[in-house]
Structure 1
Amino acid sequence: MKKILFVVALAATLSGCDNDEVGDVSLGMFTMKDIKLNHLVDPVVSGVTCHVASVEADLSFSDPSDSAISCRQTGEITPEMIANIDKSASGEVVFRKSKSIFFKSMKIRRIFDVKNQTLMYLSYSTKETSGSFKHSLSTVPLWGTKAYQSQPQQ
């Protein structure tokens, strides 16, 4: 009886570890791979939410590198938020997730396109797979928000 209670408690603890997961799609009983759907609220521009789909392989040392990202405005975006982001050409990492015990990770980087007043969110793998680095891009225009500037500063 104690063993059963321990296993149930452990399972409940582990299932609560990934509280940003909003979906889980099995790729089949014999594949041992699932597509995990997660949400991420930008830590600085809190009016932006990204949904990321990535494959995770159970009982494997490395997850596949493929991922997809879609970001949308889900709240207010203010000039103060934009003032607090990294505006360099390489932007800044807003999310990181390990995909392997061999130093592979998936990162999401926010880059601001000043000229077009658009936030770009780039999801990418840090390790080359099958001759290419896997990546996906989503954009959130500032048009219609308080942060939009008709004559952007260069």
Structure 2
Amino acid sequence: MLRGILPVLCLVPLAGHGDEVGRADVDWIGNDIVIEAVRDSEVGGVTCHLAYFERSVLDRLSQGNWFEDPSNSAIECVRTGPVDLGGIRRGPEGEDVFSEGRSLIFKSLRIKRIYDEESQVLIYLAHASEVTEGSAKMAISTVSVADARMPGD
């Protein structure tokens, strides 16, 4: 059994954690919306605020699904200091900035950064990533970097 699980566990990225900055109660059984500040360590000077739903123990008991939270999220990113684009991956694939598990092993909530060089904009895409099937749940935020430091500056 463990042999079958190990390859799947290797596909799960290590969770990059943001700092929890807020929490809103949404019902009487303890479900919450959590807001985390996620700083882009490769760029610096950009902070994203990611909001997502966190299920309570009571909700997990009543629904019978212990190991999974919804994939829905919202994101907003803003410049919080000087931006340095020297260390980022360029191209349409971009790179992951953040990943947090939303189920025991099969689903994660991710933030991917893509640089639109022509428009001089960083695009941050929050989306669910599932091993077994894709998800259309996503949110997007952009940050202008027209005056950012480029490699060699």
| Greater RCO (CA < 8 Å, at least 6 residues apart) | 2
Matched, 1:114 2:117: yes
Q: TM-score, normalised by structure 2?
A: 0.75
In structure 1, what is the equivalent of residue 70 of structure 2? Answer: 64
How many angstroms apart in 1 are the aligned matches of 2:108 and 2:24?
A: 21
Query: Match for 2:45 among 44, 47, 59?
Result: 47
Instruction: Work out the CA distance in 1 between the residues paired with 2:36 and 2:141.
Output: 15
Q: Which has the larger radius of gyration?
A: 1
For 1:100, give the aligned amino acid.
S
Instruction: State whether residues 94 and 113 of structure 2, in contact with CA within 8 Å, keep that contact through their aligned partners in structure 1.
Output: yes
Superposition pairs of residues 63-142 of structure 1, within 5 angstroms:
63-77=69-83, 81-127=84-130, 132-142=135-145
Q: TM-score, normalised by structure 1?
A: 0.74
| Distance across 2 between alignment mates of 1:120 and 1:73 | 12
Matches of 2:138 and 2:37, distance apart in 1: 17
Q: How does 1:23-42 map to 2 (within 5 A)?
A: 23-30=22-29, 32-42=30-40
Moved over 2 A (4+): 145-148
After superposition, the Cα gap between the structure-2 partners of 1:132 and 1:44, relative to the gap in structure 1 and judged at 3 Å, is closer
Amino acid at match of 2:102: K
Which ranges in structure 1 are unaligned for 5 or more consecutive residues? Answer: 1-17, 149-154
Equivalent AA in structure 1 for residue 75 of structure 2: I
The CA deviation at 1:102 is 4.1
Give the length in aligned residue pairs: 125
Question: Who is 1:22 aligned against?
Answer: 21
Query: Does the residue aligned with 1:83 lie in a helix, a strand or coil?
Result: coil
Aligned-residue Cα RMSD (Å) equals 2.1
